[in-house]
């Protein structure tokens, strides 16, 4: 699904030259993989887009890989012919990661969807990169364990590694950074390398796992991933709390985090988002700003946490909690939250959205969010706000009429202003979506020329022919 | 303090050639730094050793740096003259990190001991690299926050970053990997680069922070560090639980972790360690294997956790808990734990120790620990066991007579066997001490030639003249 007026990706990555797959390599791919490697136009187009604003940039061919060996053999050919390789999971990237801006081979990992080993006693699992997060949780449900990272979309675990994803549970359980124990990666020279172990910690050498997590496919293709799991909490309660203003909801969030209550989820929806999910999911939430929260623990601890948070909310004029204690009621609420984005799009028929992703230190959240929303109000563009506010991370979605380019320009200007504000407040341009094609300038602003030069040195060292998802994160 | 019979470091790093500081560079150092740069023999020797088994390998000069600019200027000279640079904190490394195996300049960061910014509302602090963990906790006590990472020694925060340290609280709060938000680093080309932000999470570019954390000074000199802090728990209780056997203590640990109780500390002492701390700290602990535990939370939650753990201990035949509820009693107990190593050395007058550092998935802890201890018993060498067992990490200290080289050989053989066992069980050769000079072969065994080649490529890219702590982690 496109979420913004289409823009040629080449406008962003202006220095990129096409590096099409030569005939000899196509023949070698056909010989090795048969019909699993295709140049069908429809398949190529489906693999040359994601949920970013950019126009389709199809690869020259798509390989459906079924093993690490498949991936290694394909990368070996790509290395030999100096052709780009783009790993593909489910296509839910928001920043243009999947676009073949120089052509090349898209390696679709969706058939690598085996849960390879559940080590319930160690709270670890090893999966192939194409396993999705919902599939994983379905397959391990019988163990009494779960994998908490939840970016909304039913993304592949490989894709979630690539963007260092987080989502609603990160406030308690951390992000992919904290929850990946080890990887199998096919590097640019077609080696299969293993990083990390199943031990919870290690001081053995450079942290290659963390280097690959968040590298957006630019350093190698992750084919297997070992993750931490958590015992399903004995008790879970979800609550909705309505507030008279966004200010009050954000102030409550800040005091929750500063108090150290181990809240499991703390999500903000502004009035526009609440209105959208009410209509989309036929709910009857009060159409005012709200926090959607979840508490995990023993029954006593859940009760204690909820009481502490209710008290903090009352101090800001928040209403009494409305509870969702049954699994069904909770699922209904969280499904609505996950639908917020699509629900909001339907509030302006035919629209697309530009979505921001800033994240700031918690004490600056109020300043950052309230100023950003004030700007959105003044702009006249329809918008909505949802946020993993416990982490200081929120998204403003600007709803655009694709027939009016000035709206897109305005939304991008608002995005730039929001990022500048977040950076000034000690934050980051991307809490969880990554850099891709869309935020390369923001990365330089945020990290500085020196840090980006270090990243580039690492890229040059590990991928000297720039075959791994070229044109993303930073210019070559 | 030397803890093992002295061995020339050159025996380990056999390919290293001396690269002494030339006269012209010494003059430039003197001109820039005056008496803060010294070639005094006593100072050089004090900086050419750590707590590793290796013989002193003094640097050619020692600089007492007072700012990031000092460090950058010194590195610029080192780069110009191709001279090694070794960052020095307090000298508590256990694996030879601080030895100037090719000569060069030791940069002592102990004067860079300012807490630069406490952002209590954001639960973050920024410190210079020479601040020690105890100093940090003293200076922030008034904020109601604390920094949990506790490797025993009063190490510098810079040193703890360099080795990716952890210690007693890691089972609940994570290691330096999880608790460093950002860094200021002087790279090999004398640039000052900033990594990370004060936001809790980010998906902006490669995770340079995690690359430097654990790189043991081989990629740059960390000069400033931003850390996560935590609210001091409302209630803290420490308990001792005695067991009839090591087996029972380890089985209890495994069930605690698998149950998901958020225990804050879970430390094992074998009978030899208990005996040693009794004598050293004049305690009267029962001389049987014991777990030393701590619970953090609200009063109700601490009580609930303790009850759950007591129940699990009873199931393994553990005794009733003995409680240390006052801060003084807790301090006495944890001080004793931190003295275990030195206390054990005093059990064999004149001895030194070889200490292992394996870490395995929790389900394999029993197999790993019990087999390793059985081997220690059969060996006839005096030994003791302490462990951060909640993480699957434990240390066997073998007590050697330095006059008997066959004892050292035996201890190193036992260390090798222990590492081989840990790797077979899916674990790591180093849970928290790092690789340094001592575990370079183990790293290759653990990570594989391919992964070490990636590390080497990164090193070559970021430090092409190999001036940053050369000869450590892996061969050039």
Chosen domain end from B178, B200, B231: B231
Band of residue B446 on the pLDDT scale cut at 50, 70, 90: very high
Task: Answer yes or no: do A386 and A296 share one domain.
Answer: yes
Q: Quote the minimal CA–CA distance from B362 to chain A in Å.
A: 5
Summary count for chain B: helices (H), strands (E):
16, 18
Task: Answer yes or no: do B239 and B189 share one domain.
Answer: no
pLDDT digits (tens, 9 = 90+) for A74-108: 999 999 999 999 999 999 999 999 999 999 999 99
A175 neighbourhood in chain B, CB within 8 Å: 201
A166 pLDDT more than 70:
yes
A315 within some domain: yes
> Per-residue b/e over B14-35, b at no fewer than 16 CB within 10 Å?
eebeebbbeeebbebbeeebee
What is the percent of chain A with per-residue pLDDT over 90, rounded to a whole number?
89
The CATH number for A243's domain is: 3.40.462.10
**Mean pLDDT, residues B152-174:** 96
Q: Quote the minimal CA–CA distance from B404 to chain A in Å.
A: 30
Q: Which site among B118, B173, B189, B204 would you substitute to test the A interface, given the most A Cβ atoms closer than 10 Å to its Cβ?
A: B204
d(C-alpha B213, C-alpha B208), whole Å: 9
Task: Answer yes or no: do A350 and A259 share one domain.
Answer: yes
A301 neighbourhood in chain B, CB within 8 Å: 297-298, 300-301, 304
Task: Answer yes or no: do A190 and A271 share one domain.
Answer: no
Q: Given A170, A203, A451, which is nearest B214 (Cβ)? A: A203
What's the pLDDT at B4? 42
- CA atoms lying within 13 Å on the CB side of residue A88: 31
Chains A, B: CB contacts within 8 A come to 284
Q: Quote the minimal CA–CA distance from B149 to chain A in Å.
A: 13
Q: Which site among A143, A166, A194, A200 would you substitute to test the B interface, given the most B Cβ atoms closer than 10 Å to its Cβ?
A: A200
A214 neighbourhood in chain B, CB within 8 Å: 203, 205-207
d(C-alpha A143, C-alpha A122), whole Å: 12
pLDDT digits (tens, 9 = 90+) for A223-246: 999 999 999 999 999 999 999 999
Q: Which site among B201, B223, B312, B444 would you substitute to test the A interface, given the most A Cβ atoms closer than 10 Å to its Cβ?
A: B201
Band of residue A54 on the pLDDT scale cut at 50, 70, 90: confident
Q: Quote the minimal CA–CA distance from A182 to chain B in Å.
A: 11
**Mean pLDDT, residues A399-406:** 91
pLDDT digits (tens, 9 = 90+) for B342-397: 899 999 998 888 899 999 999 999 999 999 999 999 999 999 999 999 999 999 99
Check CB contact under 8 Å for B428 and A187. no
A458 neighbourhood in chain B, CB within 8 Å: 206, 211, 458, 461-462
Task: Answer yes or no: do A219 and A319 share one domain.
Answer: no
A88 within some domain: no
pLDDT digits (tens, 9 = 90+) for B245-286: 999 999 999 999 999 999 999 999 999 999 999 999 999 999
A5 pLDDT more than 70:
no
**Nearest Cα residue in chain A from B388:** A201
CB A118 within 8 A of CB A131: no
What's the pLDDT at B55? 86
Band of residue B9 on the pLDDT scale cut at 50, 70, 90: low
Task: Answer yes or no: do A285 and A154 share one domain.
Answer: no
Task: Answer yes or no: do A276 and A179 share one domain.
Answer: no
Check CB contact under 8 Å for B214 and A194. no
Angle at A384 between CA A382 and CA A387, to 5 degrees: 160
Q: Quote the minimal CA–CA distance from B286 to chain A in Å.
A: 31
CA distances from B423 to A159, A243, A245, B426, B473 (A): 29, 54, 55, 5, 18
What is the percent of chain B with per-residue pLDDT over 90, rounded to a whole number?
90
A67 within some domain: no
Check CB contact under 8 Å for B200 and A124. no
Check CB contact under 8 Å for A231 and B206. no
Q: From start to end of B93-179, where are the E strands?
A: 105-108, 115-119, 124-128, 145-146
A207 neighbourhood in chain B, CB within 8 Å: 164, 177, 207, 210-211, 213-214
Check CB contact under 8 Å for B203 and A452. no
Radius of gyration of chain B (CA): 22
B459 within some domain: no
A328: tokens are 């069904």
Check CB contact under 8 Å for B124 and A361. yes
Chosen domain end from A381, A405, A424: A424
d(C-alpha A301, C-alpha A321), whole Å: 17
A147 pLDDT more than 60:
yes
Q: Given B187, B194, B206, which is nearest A214 (Cβ)? A: B206
Summary count for chain A: helices (H), strands (E):
16, 18
**Mean pLDDT, residues B191-213:** 98
What's the pLDDT at A13? 62
d(C-alpha A287, C-alpha A284), whole Å: 8
A443 neighbourhood in chain B, CB within 8 Å: 204-205
**In terms of residue numbers, what domain contains A183?**
115-231
Check CB contact under 8 Å for B206 and A215. yes
What's the pLDDT at A354? 87
Task: Answer yes or no: do B255 and B381 share one domain.
Answer: yes
Task: Answer yes or no: do A164 and A139 share one domain.
Answer: yes
List of residues 6+ apart from A348 with CB closer than 8 A: A382, A399, A401
3-state helix, strand, coil in chain B (%, to 5): 40, 20, 35
CA distances from B209 to A419, B149, B226, B474 (A): 21, 17, 10, 20
**Nearest Cα residue in chain A from B429:** A204
CB A335 within 8 A of CB A281: yes
CB B464 within 8 A of CB A460: no
B99 within some domain: no
Q: Given B206, B215, B233, which is nearest A455 (Cβ)? A: B206
Band of residue A4 on the pLDDT scale cut at 50, 70, 90: very low
> Per-residue b/e over B325-346, b at no fewer than 16 CB within 10 Å?
eeeeebeebbebbbbbbebbbe
**Mean pLDDT, residues A202-223:** 98
A252: tokens are 């409550």
Check CB contact under 8 Å for B193 and A448. yes
What's the pLDDT at B2? 35
Provide the number of structural domains found in chain A.
Answer: 2
B375 membership: H or E segment, kind and range: helix B365-379
pLDDT digits (tens, 9 = 90+) for B302-318: 999 999 999 999 999 99
What's the pLDDT at A252? 98
Band of residue B54 on the pLDDT scale cut at 50, 70, 90: confident
Task: Answer yes or no: do B251 and B195 share one domain.
Answer: no
d(C-alpha B459, C-alpha B466), whole Å: 8
d(C-alpha A146, C-alpha A230), whole Å: 5
Helix A299-315, helix B299-315: angle, nearest 10: 170
B21 within some domain: no
**Mean pLDDT, residues B432-436:** 97
Global ipTM: 0.96
H-assigned helices in A48-185: 68-81, 133-140, 157-163, 170-173, 176-179
The CATH number for B210's domain is: 3.30.465.10
A2 pLDDT more than 50:
no
**Mean pLDDT, residues A122-135:** 98
d(C-alpha A310, C-alpha A291), whole Å: 11
Chosen domain end from A167, A196, A231: A231
**Nearest Cα residue in chain B from A439:** B204
Task: Answer yes or no: do B119 and B251 share one domain.
Answer: no
Check CB contact under 8 Å for B362 and A177. no
Q: Given B187, B254, B363, which is nearest A119 (Cβ)? A: B363
Check CB contact under 8 Å for A205 and B426. no
Q: Given B392, B448, B455, which is nearest A206 (Cβ)? A: B455
Check CB contact under 8 Å for B201 and A170. yes
Task: Answer yes or no: do A216 and A258 share one domain.
Answer: no
pLDDT digits (tens, 9 = 90+) for B99-142: 999 999 999 999 999 999 999 999 999 999 999 999 999 999 99
């Amino acid at each position: 699904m496109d979420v913004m007026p289409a823009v040629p990706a080449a406008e962003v990555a202006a220095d990129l030259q096409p590096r099409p797959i030569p005939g000899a390599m196509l023949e070698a791919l056909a010989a090795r993989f048969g019909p699993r490697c295709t140049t069908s136009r429809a398949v190529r187009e489906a693999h040359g887009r994601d949920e970013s604003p950019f126009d389709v940039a199809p690869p020259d061919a798509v390989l459906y890989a079924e093993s690490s060996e498949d991936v290694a053999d394909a990368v070996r050919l790509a290395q030999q012919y100096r052709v780009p390789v783009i790993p593909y999971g489910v296509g839910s990237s928001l920043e243009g990661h999947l676009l073949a801006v120089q052509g090349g081979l898209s390696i679709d990992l969706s058939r690598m969807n085996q849960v390879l080993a559940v080590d319930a006693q160690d709270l670890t699992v090893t999966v192939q990169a194409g396993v999705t997060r919902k599939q994983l949780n379905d397959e391990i449900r019988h163990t009494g364990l779960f994998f908490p990272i939840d970016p909304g979309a039913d993304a592949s675990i490989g894709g979630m590694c690539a963007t260092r994803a987080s989502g609603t549970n990160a406030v308690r359980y951390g992000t992919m950074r904290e929850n990946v124990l080890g990887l199998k990666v096919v590097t640019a020279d077609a080696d299969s390398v293993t990083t990390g172990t199943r031990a919870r910690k290690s001081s053995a050498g450079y942290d290659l796992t963390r280097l690959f997590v968040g590298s957006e496919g630019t350093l190698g293709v992750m084919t297997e991933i070992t993750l931490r799991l958590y015992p399903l909490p004995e008790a879970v309660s979800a609550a909705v709390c309505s507030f008279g203003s966004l200010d009050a909801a954000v102030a409550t969030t800040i005091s929750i985090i500063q108090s150290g209550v181990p809240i499991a989820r703390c999500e903000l929806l502004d009035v526009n988002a609440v209105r959208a999910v009410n209509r989309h999911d036929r709910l009857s939430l009060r159409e005012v700003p709200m926090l959607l929260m979840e508490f995990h623990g023993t029954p006593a601890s859940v009760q204690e946490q909820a009481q502490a948070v209710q008290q903090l909310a009352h101090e800001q004029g928040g209403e009494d909690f409305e509870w969702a204690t049954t699994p069904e009621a909770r699922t209904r609420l969280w499904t609505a939250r996950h639908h917020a984005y699509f629900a909001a799009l339907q509030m302006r028929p035919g629209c697309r959205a530009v979505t921001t992703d800033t994240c700031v230190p918690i004490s600056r959240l109020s300043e950052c969010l309230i100023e950003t929303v004030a700007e959105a109000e003044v702009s006249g563009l329809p918008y909505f706000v949802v946020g993993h506010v416990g982490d200081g991370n929120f998204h403003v979605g600007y709803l655009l009429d694709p027939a009016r380019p000035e709206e897109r320009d305005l939304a991008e200007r608002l995005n730039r202003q929001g990022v500048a504000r977040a950076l000034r407040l000690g934050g980051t341009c991307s809490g969880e979506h990554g850099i891709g094609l869309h935020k390369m300038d923001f990365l330089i602003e945020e990290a500085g020329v020196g840090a980006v030069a270090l990243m580039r040195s690492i890229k040059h060292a590990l991928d000297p022919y720039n075959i791994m998802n070229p044109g993303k994160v930073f210019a070559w």
